[in-house]
Amino acid sequence: MSKKSDPRFTRGMLILSPFAKAFTSRGGDMEAILARNGIPAGALTDPAMLVDASACYSAMEDMAETLGDPYFGAKVAIETARKGTPAFRDSATNARNFGDFLSRLVVEVSKQVDNVRYSVSITPGIVTFDIHRTVKVTKPSTQLDAVGVALYATLIRQGIGETFDTKDILITVPTTEGLPPGFLPKQALITSQINGMRISFPPHWLWAPFSLDWNLEKVSRGEFPTDGASEATLSYLRGILSDNIAYQDLTLNDFASICRMHPRRIQRILWAQGASYSQMKDDVRKSITEDLLSNTALPVAQIALHVGLSGPAALDRAFRRWTGRTPTQFRADSKPKQG
């Protein structure tokens, strides 16, 4: 059986990318995490690379343990749900109501990963949304379970607004230990040795209008305006680029594939704003680099990898071009002066 059809394998970039980004920003050594869990270093830069799903889950547990933060995975999932995720963009922007979102999500996820199966069952009294793992998790899955609950509970709460009521939702999951206290009331959670997660809620939620405020242009069917010149559209492109800037040699065609847009359309959007793809990539790299130099103690070598450059020398050359200074000089100048 090939890896492409084997549910034991998944795209490491899709699963680990947001967690790796958060882990690195808190000073974590992502290379060590990958090595300890037998994950190739290219898994975070190659969108086509398939890795063992269980290794990805173990890496998430490793990150939380290394940081000493039992709620690490849930925090990242909540932030991802609030900020937006390319994986769910089409499902969210094209949905008219919550039921429409779920049905689109079931179809969309099946195109992207093989290690989970989604299904929805509806009766007159209750709707059940099942997420079944095709891989049996033998090691502790505290972070994995917390990520699932935090991600989908946040998406649903944000998407249906006032219709959401914690008294009407019941989430079944193997463990709730990784959820921050007070995220959901205890009566909304039940633990059971299922291989995945089950979310139950009343049928009237299906007809609730569904909208996620992800800074996406709100036009018919969630499509971008034909002129491509709006600030919201440009903001969306910059946001997606920021999330994927760590991938070295991210060409316009690669970026367009992630955005699910034609490369020429992205060029037209940028040209309308007097910019180009290379300029936007430089601007995003500069912004992230300055933030990491000012607000973290990450080594320059790690910052270089974080913004998709090959190493300190490449970052030094680029940073001199952007600012006229070296990263080390910028970091020193950014430190508050001692009184």
- Complete DSSP assignment for 133-158: ESS---S--HHHHHHHHHHHHHHHHH
CA 320 and chain centroid, separation: 31
Q: What is the pLDDT of residue 249?
A: 79
Q: If DSSP codes are grouped into helix, strand and coil, which group holds residue 96?
A: coil
In whole angstroms, give the CA distance from residue 226 to residue 229: 8
Portion of the chain with pLDDT greater than 70, in percent: 84
Q: In the chain, where are the structural domains located?
A: 3-207, 220-331
In whole angstroms, give the CA distance from residue 99 to residue 160: 10
Mean pLDDT, residues 184-190 taken together: 93
Residue scoring higher pLDDT (9 or 336): 336
Lowest mean pLDDT among 46-50, 170-174, 175-179, 274-278: 46-50
Q: If DSSP codes are grouped into helix, strand and coil, which group holds residue 24?
A: helix
Of the ranges 11-25, 36-50, 103-117, 144-158, the best mean pLDDT one: 144-158
Q: What is the pLDDT of residue 315?
A: 92
Q: What is the pLDDT of residue 216?
A: 39
Mean pLDDT, residues 9-27 taken together: 78
Mean pLDDT, residues 239-262 taken together: 82
Q: If DSSP codes are grouped into helix, strand and coil, which group holds residue 324?
A: coil
Task: Check pLDDT > 60 for residue 5.
Answer: no
107 confidence band (pLDDT: 50, 70, 90): confident
12 confidence band (pLDDT: 50, 70, 90): low
Pairing of strands 116-122, 50-52: unpaired
**Is the Cβ–Cβ distance between 130 and 162 less than 8 Å?**
no
Model-level pTM? 0.61
213 confidence band (pLDDT: 50, 70, 90): low
Domain 3-207 - what CATH class? Answer: alpha beta
Mean pLDDT, residues 167-186 taken together: 93
Question: Which tokens sit at 167?
Answer: 């008294």
Q: Does domain 220-331 have CATH number 3.20.20.70?
A: no
227 confidence band (pLDDT: 50, 70, 90): very low
Nearest to 102 by CA among 59, 57, 155: 155
Nearest to 244 by CA among 86, 51, 91: 86
Domains 3-207 and 220-331 share a fold: no
10 confidence band (pLDDT: 50, 70, 90): low
Q: What digits encode the pLDDT tens for the residues 256-305?
A: 878 777 788 888 888 777 788 888 999 999 999 998 998 888 899 889 88
